[in-house]
Structure 1
Amino acid sequence: MDYQGTIRFTLLSQSNDEVTSKMPVEKGILNPFGIVNAGAIIWFADVTASVLLLENSNPQEGMKGFPLAININANLIGNAKSGNFFATSTYVKKGRTVSVVHTVVTDEKQNIIADVTTNHVLTQ
């Protein structure tokens, strides 16, 4: 069997302390039950947190200082079959080497989909 999917997101707002993004619920991220795959939700939270940590820099392959996730704690609370998910990432701790980010993923009705905390180390 061959499985294929596409995940996409749009950056909605970005400041030094918070990033908000949107991910459409589309066929390419649905599991066989017709709801969003847990991996897609975690990916969405992680990439939103990474945008916060990148602080307006343009990521490039092999760049120094990329915020590599070293720990992800995800509480998957809800799900959906359609619409959009929104993620908001804020700092728990902004460090020189290791930073901790809290991300909440919600649906269009502001129901919590996931509560995710990620630890990131800046690559050298």
Structure 2
Amino acid sequence: MSQSREYAGHLRFATEVLSRDEARGTMPVQEGVMNPFGTVHAGALIWFADVVATRLALQGADVQSGGSGFPLAISITAQLLSNVTSGTLTARARYVKRGRTMQVVRTEVTSQDGKVLLDLTSSHITSR
């Protein structure tokens, strides 16, 4: 199932769950995600990776009204490796560990030409 979102007219992306163990997202590089130097803002890269990782962790979650059951990120470690000024970014999230109470997800964000821009590892627990 694919989803598209837009926030304040600037952050457009699409996500999809490819399998039980992998999710992917794409996001165009555009004005709303750029920093004053003309490259993608570090926060936008991390936010994008977190959304795709959470999408993977949501599989099978029993989210109740009020948010109970949502897979909350409790730890994020990000390595910013490179940056771009244009193109489409791709994020791929895969499980490192898929436990009953905690999931650890590794997400790489790459440029259109395959250069790794961000390597992010996140830990998610089920909210109560």
* TM-score using structure 2 length: 0.86
Count the aligned residue pairs: 121
Alpha-carbon distance between aligned partners in 1 of 2:41 and 2:118, rounded to the nearest angstrom: 12
1:13-92 equivalences in 2 (<5 Å) = 13-55=17-59, 62-92=66-96
Measure, in 1, the Cα distance between the counterparts of 2:63 and 2:39: 30
Is 1:99 matched up with 2:103? Answer: yes
Cα RMSD of the aligned pairs, angstroms, is 2.0
Q: Is the 8 A contact 2:17 2:56 kept in 1?
A: no
- For residues 33 and 97 of structure 1, the distance between their equivalents in structure 2, rounded to whole angstroms, comes to 41
Q: Deviations over 1:84-106 (max 9, x none)?
A: 11000000011111110000110
Structure 2 CA distance, aligned partners of 1:100 and 1:88? Answer: 14
What is the CA distance between 1:12 and its match in structure 2? Answer: 4.4
Flag the structure with higher strand content: 2
TM-score by length of 1: 0.89
Q: Which residue of 2 aligns with 1:118?
A: 122
Q: What amino acid does structure 2 have at the position aligned with 1:73?
A: T
